[in-house]
Amino acid sequence: MSFSAILPPIPVALPLLTAALLGFGGKHTPRRLADAIAIAVATLVTCATIYLAIEAAHHPIVYWFGGWKLRSGVPLGIAFVVDEAGAILASTGGLLTTLALLFSLHYFDSVGALFHALMLIFLAGVCGFCLTGDLFNLFVWFELMSAAAFGLCAYKAEEPAPLQGAINFAVTNTIGAFFIVVGLALLYGRTGALNLAELGRAIGPTPDLLVVIAFFSLTLAFLVKGAIVPFHFWLADAHAVAPTPVCVLFSGIMVELGIFGIVRVHSAIFAGVLPVPGGLRDVFLVAGGITAVLGAVMAFAQRHLKRLLAYSTASHMGIALSAWALASPKGLAGGIAYLVGHGLTKAALFLSAGLVLHTLRDVDEIKLRGRGRSHPLVGAILALAALGLAGAPWGTLLGDSLLDDLAMKQHLHGFVIISWFAGIVTAAAALRAAGRIFLGFGAREPEAPDVGGIEGEAPETAPSPRRVPVPMLLAPIAALICGTLWNLWPPLRQSIANAAGQLADHAGYLARVLRGAQAESIAPHLAPPSWVHAVIPPLAALALAFLTLARSRLPFAMRRRAAGKLNIFWRPLRRLHSGHVGDQVAWLTFGAALFAVAFALLYR
């Protein structure tokens, strides 16, 4: 029996076992022991999933739990189908969990090992979600990930704001998850199957309303998780209140898995009956485009650093959703490159935000103006990571490059414009914050607009005398190094190509699971990233940030007029993002209806 034949359950089972062990000690587990165990397990999971990614490069691994395989051609038990894309995303989750745990070594307010146990349970949920080949099992890991995430989000429960943010997060995401059950029930009622491949075979070639609504229901949960407009409201509230290491996981992998969930479910079940090019493409391109633009604008309007980064995440998820809608293996490759590249650079950004909170005791850009001058290294990391959002080589470079190239070939100039806009504006927003905090640029503006939402940010760490602890600095630097490798190292580019080839190969997936076939999927050829993307958007972002900070030098009349015009624009946006959970649910219902009606009309 080869190693890869026993490895698939480990990334899920090992962290769960460890979490139960840490729970056994409860509050009495020594802090440093919990740190050591949790970091060791997260590292092991990362290594295991990287090994799986290497093994699955050409032949995805099918693993049957309990030894229950096919019986008369029908899957009896639960399968893990470890393909390249799933393994890559799971290893990203493992890496980010390791970095987040490393960063939280210096957090003072830790209730024994509860924090560590929840982080590991979250990681197990991420891995299970990425690797499973069974629809109900997918739901179980999705829920496990959410349950751990709600607890982690409310971690700083001594204050009222974290509770409110966590409630918004829990309510909207639970409504989303409920729709997975609806979709699952519809599909099971029709086909009597739960295995993804078996569903893909049993669902038949003709779309009717049941199939369309089932697809809609499954998608809705993932759209909520992926923070697509108008389901994005929870994102900023959750990120603003969650501890920084938790934000790393939220923005670095959880939201990405929302987009991946749509791709997985579609590629395994619906690719034959609801092909993307027929209609779905336009719906998702429009939704993605609106999300990318609104997210970028909202990010630019924030002064609370974590909230700013959260809106930028929504913007980037809009681009990732559009990437999938481009409906080609190359688009999928661009999407995977984009998701992971964004995850790594965003992790570095949140870790730098955590460093800002640690050294300066706040994350309000306006209040902190010029106060970061004594911490140039923190400022440099923040600015570098910010450039990654615009396509610097440690961020979304490869994804941007592949996607723009493909969109130009498909004559989707709008997509290219929006993706440049999103990258430049979100990066400029973070750069502006870095310039103001660490260089003291820009005028003093006590009444600068802060658009909407829950306020307040309490320090998470005990102040350290003068020097920043080394692990806290190492974590974001490691994320940036991994990001650079991801974008530039050719073997990884080949992995991305393999992953995209497998995801695009619906028939191959079915054959592998249902007949044990060893068919190899055709991987698209991916060109190395173009240097245009590595240079021009980051420079543009720098220029935009500088202009924003220097606008106090503009003639007074010009500023007045601009401010008046912008207010018409800000006021409704501010009212929209009220942070009221009722508003969020109303928008969720309204948005869900829009998607449902659009799908139903497309496949009448």
Partner 1 sequence: MSDDRDELDPGARGRTILFFIGGVPLIGLLAAAMVQLPRSGAGHSLYGDLLVGAAVRERHVTDVVTAINFDYRGFDTLGEELILFASVMGVLLILRKSDEQPACDDREDERQTRRAPPTSEAVRALGLGMIGVTLTFGLYIITHGQLTPGGGFQGGVIVATAWVLLYLAGDARAYERATPKPVVEAFEAVGALAYALLGFAGLLAGLSFLANLLPLGPIATAHSGGTIALLSVATGREVAGGFVLLVTSFVEEALAERAGSS
Site residues for partner 1, window 102-121 (CB under 8 A)? 111, 114-115, 117-118, 121
From 265-273, 284-292, 538-546, 585-593, give the range in contact with partner 1 by CB under 8 A: 585-593
Q: Taking CB under 8 A as the rule, which mask of x and - marks residues 185-204 in contact with partner 1?
A: -x-xxx-xxx---x------
Length of the chain: 604
Residue 124 found at the interface with partner 1 (CB under 8 A): yes
Distance CA 545, CA 426 (A): 10
Q: Quick one: which of 62, 87, 89, 144 contacts partner 1 (CB under 8 A)?
A: 144
Q: What is the DSSP string of 547-558?
A: HHHGGGGS-HHH
Integer Cα distance of 301 and 289 in angstroms? 19
Q: How far is the CB of 47 from partner 1 (least distance, A)?
A: 17
Among 50, 54, 64, 459, binds partner 1 (CB under 8 A): 64
Q: Please report whether residue 585 would count as binding partner 1 according to CB under 8 A.
A: yes
Closest CA to 93 of 55, 25, 144: 144
Using the rule CB under 8 A, which residue among 41, 203, 209, 223 binds partner 1?
209
Q: Where are the beta strands (DSSP E) in 30-162?
A: 61-64, 70-71, 74-75, 79-82
Query: What is the distance between the alpha carbons of residues 468 and 358, in angstroms, rounded to a whole number?
Result: 8
With beta carbons less than 8 A apart as the criterion, state whether 595 and 220 touch: yes
The yes or no reply on residue 78 touching partner 1 (CB under 8 A) is yes
The least CB distance from residue 164 to partner 1, in Å, is: 12
Nearer to partner 1, 136 or 570 (CB): 136
> Taking CB under 8 A as the criterion, which residues in 147-166 touch partner 1?
147-148, 150-152, 154-155, 157-158, 163
Min CB(287)–partner 1 separation in Å = 15
Kindly state whether residue 602 participates in binding partner 1, applying the rule CB under 8 A: no
* Binding window for partner 1 (CB under 8 A); candidates: 11-19, 299-307, 381-389, 438-446: 11-19
Question: What is the C-alpha end-to-end distance of the chain, expressed in Å?
Answer: 50
Amino acid residing at 135: L
Reduced to 3 states (helix: H, G, I; strand: E, B; else coil), residue 71 is strand
- CA gap 354, 103 in Å, rounded: 9
The CA distance from 155 to 148, in Å, is: 11
Residue window 18-37: x/- pattern of binding to partner 1, with contact defined by CB under 8 A: -xxx-xx-xxx---------
- Least distance in Å: CB of 75 to partner 1? 8
Q: Tabulate helix, strand, coil % of the chain (nearest 5).
A: 75, 5, 25
Contacts with partner 1 in 216-245 (CB under 8 A)?
A: 216-217
Residue 489 found at the interface with partner 1 (CB under 8 A): no
Identify the residue among 40, 74, 408, 532 touching partner 1 (CB under 8 A): 74
Q: Which 3-state string (H, E, C) describes 267-321? A: HHHHCCCCCHHHHHHHHHHHHHHHHHHHHHHHHHCCCEHHHHHHHHHHHHHHHHH
> Quick one: which of 51, 546, 570, 587 contacts partner 1 (CB under 8 A)?
587
Contact between 570 and partner 1 per CB under 8 A: no
